A and B are shown apart, each in its own frame.
Chain A
Amino acid sequence: MTNSNQQYEALQAEYKRRYDAVLNPLAEALRAFLAECLKGELRIDRVAARPKDVDRFVAKAPKLNDGRPKYAEPLEQIQDQVGARIITFYPTDVARLDPVVKKWFNPIEFRDHVPESEWEFGYFGRHYVLAIPTDVIDDRWDKAMIPRFFELQVKTLFEHAWSEAEHDLGYKPGEQPLTSDETRRLAYTSAQAWGADRMFDELFRARTAKAGRATV
């Protein structure tokens, strides 16, 4: 067995231990905490959280950046070992929830994911890297296994639907990557989802204005 195989297996075993002992219950605790924070907020379809599964973690760990390993310490550096998602109705709501998220959590990163070129369509979403709140930590957990951060995505219904299907199609470890025609077809569906979001958002704003209400 080669050295890199041994490292791979050791990493997989370590992450699996962490996944079973901490990440799973942590994701559920985080989901409940987030739901409580958002109580009373309008137009939230759902709040979800899940740990990154073992296969996806070990597939991400050896990722390269300019030909060099991106993660010298994957267990310490990969910040989406737990991912959460708030699914809301309209793009206006994604913007509206930004101060709410920042009121409850400390971000070390926040950004809008948009395709690099205006001619491209692909993944859209507002992402945050947030410190794990101490309220969700169980004192019985091994502290060395508790990640420091989690990733929160705030998406519209259409963005969520597109990203879930695209994720399932495109990133299964061990499978062939998408062909350029398949990628173009996915981009087409992304454009449709983007367009639908725009239409719904414009309708929402127009009808709200007509009714004399604020878009809150």
Chain B
Amino acid sequence: MRVKFESRAPLAFHDSGAHTHRRLVRANVVALNWHKTRGPSWGATVPVQQIHTYLVHPGKGGGGARQINGTGVALRDRLFNLLDGIYSRSEQECVIDIIFKPTDGGVQQNDCRDLICAYLTDPTLPNGRAIAERLESQTDKRSGLGLLFLISGREGRDHKIVISRFPTDSAILVEENPRTLDVEFLERVFMKNKTSYKAVMYRDSSLRGGIWSGKAIDKQISFAGESSDYWIADFLLSAFAVTPTQGTRRLGTALREAAKKSDIDVKQEIIAAATLAGRLGRQAISINDFEQRFNLSQAAREAISNELKSPRLAEEQFEFVAAEFNELLAFRSKELSNGAMLTAPSANFDDVFKQEIVDEATHETKFTTQGTVVNDKLKPTV
């Protein structure tokens, strides 16, 4: 298998076969966020020491064993520079904390982890091919053909590996001559910025006791309402490190406590966001994503941040579960015909507002409440 990298387009590959070098249309780099990772050499770099790549066809459901073609990648030139960049940025780019799962019977063993540890112990083409074969067995026709890279290194006690899957796409190649333009359609182009790009990074000081947790990126998960079990659940046999309950409750508790302690403007802002959030579908989100999605003010964000033990907790991705959220944070509102709006936490609405029906025929109801005014704000209607 021969993989060609085109010098003018550092984020795209072309499986050239017998083709000569060509110029490809350039792709944009996705903006990156910085994240810390575990390991004794915090911040220290672990240089790339080997790279293997494999062309992985869909193979889920069997249909006959197919020899997976793979090759080593030299640690020089522009292809290496691109992959080295992916490797070194992985700690910032891979934002989903994940953890390998045990067997269904609860035994502390994971097939994918075993393959990765075997490769890290002895990073050879055959050991890497075993990982590619596992990916093939989980890849169906929807995911299609992909180019898998295993980029690994070791520094002192630290082991690091980035496993990166580039999906296939088509592209238009342009050759500009002094007086003419040659335009050609290319198949089997592998693009990093495509919505189905996936990667995972593992870094640890111990292969025996560690390499249970990693950080992944799966751009399919980024879109509201979509999730991809293919990469994290099926191939990596992993789950989000922050469970849906843990993450959703963390968000709900932070919002609830922030609302209690804030002035009326921030309180109303948080209540409004929480009310809308109760209708969100199950999706991967972080507390920072939540604040951005509902366009919360700086004051509201600070109020929420004050309820978290650490800013890193706001960065962690989890699967949002509306049922858990609503159980913790539902607000109940009643609007009366005289213009009054009554709002209180749903759990104790009936304790906060005493109700007395004054006219059975018209259902006219008298609401009574008692307390100390902590906020009083006049807001214009326009």
Contact = CB atoms under 8 A, between A and B. Distances in A.
A131 B309 contact: no
Contacts of B210: 76, 148
Given A106-B243, A131-B241, A148-B210, 6 more contacts: A76-B210, A108-B99, A131-B212, A134-B312, A143-B38, A144-B40
A107 B106 contact: yes
A149 B100 CA distance: 13
Given A73-B208, A109-B107, A103 B102 contact: no
B39 to A, nearest CB: 8
B209 interface: yes
B319 to A, nearest CB: 12
Count class of interface residues, chain A: 20 to 34
B100 A108 contact: yes
B206 interface: yes
Q: Could you say which of B38, B97, B102, B250 has the most chain A C-beta atoms within 10 Å of its C-beta?
A: B102
A131 B242 CA distance: 10
Contacts of B108: 108-109, 129
Contacts of A76: 205-206, 208-210
Interface in A29-85: 72-73, 76-77, 79
Contacts of A123: none
Interface of A: 72-73, 76-77, 79, 103-111, 129, 131, 133-135, 137-139, 143-144, 148-149
Interface string B228-248: 000000000001011111100
Contacts, number: 75
Interface string B100-126: 111000111000000000000000000
A135 B307 CA distance: 12
Given A135-B313, A143-B38, A148-B213, A106 B208 contact: no
Contact of A131 (B40, B99, B250, B313): B99
Interface in B297-327: 309-310, 312-313, 316
Given A109-B107, A111-B106, A148 B313 contact: no
Contact of B106 (A73, A105, A110): A110
B99 A109 contact: no
A109 B313 contact: no
B88 to A, nearest CB: 20
B313 A134 contact: yes
Contacts of A103: 243-245
Residue of A73, A103, A106, A131 with highest tally of chain B CB at under 10 A: A106
A77 B213 contact: no
A34 to B, nearest CB: 12
Contacts of A77: 206, 208-209
Contact of B212 (A105, A111, A143, A148): A148
A52 to B, nearest CB: 15
